[in-house]
Amino acid sequence: MTTELLVLMFLKAQAAATGAILLVLALRRPARRVIGAELSYRLWALAPAAALASLFPTLPLFVHTVEVAEGVLMGSSPRVWMPVVRHAGALALLWLAGAATLGLLFALAELRFQRKVRAGTAGPAITGAWPRMVVPADYRLRFTAEERVLIRDHEREHMARRHPTANLAIAVLQVVSWFNPLVHLAAACARLDQELACDAAVIARHPRRRRDYALTLLKAHAGDTGSPFACALAAGRRHPLEVRVAMLSEPRISVRRDVVGVFAVGALAVTVALALWSLAPL
């Protein structure tokens, strides 16, 4: 019974997270235009928050528990209904095997990235549990002094916002939800939105250097780092880089719109929590 209960709670959390991911996927692009890249990136917190909220007693479960308790007090023998999860033990073992496999693949990818760092072929990027900036061996030859200033500002934004820690959390969620393709899609989109948030912060400090910054991104683009944890300046495929360069032409978000965005994200979080509490099944 304990294994069945754990599997049931895990599946409920997956269903809640999937619903939140679909919501964020639908909102992230229009939200980026309205409230800016930073607040749009924060929308991804809805997915793990929804998963955690689903583990608490929902309104239907609360009402059902009260009815059972009243039946006991009145001397009747109420029936306690609980969904049946067949083969819970086998499902738990299958999940454990998949999680261990993906965790091993992530660890091997990180080892390959660290070998690139030592060989001087990786970066610019931020990596490590205690974040540090790594650069390629030709860093000073490839980038001008002005470009290096923009690169350092970008990577400092990653460190100030604790993005390496966020990437570690994203990787853990991918391992836990290895069977859910939407989680892996969300991880890729969240990391792109993370880069867009840092881009917006750098451009806000250097509003007259949009073209220089775009050229720096193009110059730094050298393919994916392969690391599930590092924050690379211009890693990724062609399409994400196009998105980042295109975003540099967007106007800066005003303070008023920032305030509106904060309230909008907060209202959306409250709405999702209330929906989970009142509409979720047992």
Q: What is the pLDDT of residues 122-140, one digit of tens each?
A: 889 998 878 889 999 999 9
In a domain, 69, yes or no: yes
Q: Is residue 249 within 8 Å of 210, Cβ to Cβ?
A: yes
In a domain, 153, yes or no: yes
pLDDT-derived band at 90, boundaries 50, 70, 90: confident
Report how far residue 77's alpha carbon sits from residue 168's, in angstroms, rounded to the nearest whole number: 49
pLDDT at 62 over 90: no
In a domain, 86, yes or no: no
Report how far residue 107's alpha carbon sits from residue 243's, in angstroms, rounded to the nearest whole number: 29
Residues 205 and 260 in one domain: no
**Predicted pLDDT at 35:** 84
Average pLDDT of the residues in 95-113: 95
Q: Find the helix or strand (DSSP H, E) in which 134 lies.
A: strand 132-134
Residues 140 and 208 in one domain: yes
Percentage of the chain lying above the pLDDT 70 cut: 70
pLDDT at 10 over 50: yes
Average pLDDT of the residues in 254-280: 61
**Predicted pLDDT at 207:** 87
Average pLDDT of the residues in 46-59: 80
pLDDT-derived band at 264, boundaries 50, 70, 90: low
Q: Which domain holds residue 18?
A: 1-74+255-282
Residues 241 and 261 in one domain: no
In a domain, 150, yes or no: yes
Percentage of the chain lying above the pLDDT 90 cut: 38
**Predicted pLDDT at 36:** 85
Report how far residue 173's alpha carbon sits from residue 176's, in angstroms, rounded to the nearest whole number: 5
Average pLDDT of the residues in 64-83: 48
Residues 264 and 223 in one domain: no
Q: What is the pLDDT of residues 126-180, one digit of tens each?
A: 988 788 899 999 999 999 999 999 999 999 999 999 999 999 999 999 999 999 9
99 compared with 278, residue with greater pLDDT: 99
**Predicted pLDDT at 251:** 55
Q: What is the pLDDT of residues 181-215, one digit of tens each?
A: 999 999 999 999 999 999 989 988 988 888 888 88
**Predicted pLDDT at 243:** 62
**Predicted pLDDT at 241:** 59
**Predicted pLDDT at 250:** 59
275 compared with 121, residue with greater pLDDT: 121
Residues 130 and 62 in one domain: no
**Quick check: bond before 60 cis, omega within 30?**
no
In a domain, 107, yes or no: no
Residues 231 and 193 in one domain: yes
In a domain, 79, yes or no: no
In a domain, 92, yes or no: no
pLDDT at 255 over 80: no
Residues 226 and 261 in one domain: no
Residues 242 and 259 in one domain: no
In a domain, 106, yes or no: no
Residues 163 and 276 in one domain: no
Residues 245 and 259 in one domain: no
Average pLDDT of the residues in 67-95: 62
Q: How many domains does the chain have?
A: 2
**Predicted pLDDT at 179:** 94
Report how far residue 213's alpha carbon sits from residue 234's, in angstroms, rounded to the nearest whole number: 11
Residues 227 and 271 in one domain: no
Give the residue among 34, 45, 29, 18 at the shortest CA–CA distance from 264: 34
Report how far residue 215's alpha carbon sits from residue 221's, in angstroms, rounded to the nearest whole number: 10
Q: What is the pLDDT of residues 16-35, one digit of tens each?
A: 899 899 999 998 988 888 88
Q: Where are the alpha helices (DSSP H) in 36-162?
A: 37-42, 46-53, 59-73, 88-119, 139-142, 145-160
Residues 57 and 29 in one domain: yes
Residue with tokens 């980038």: 143
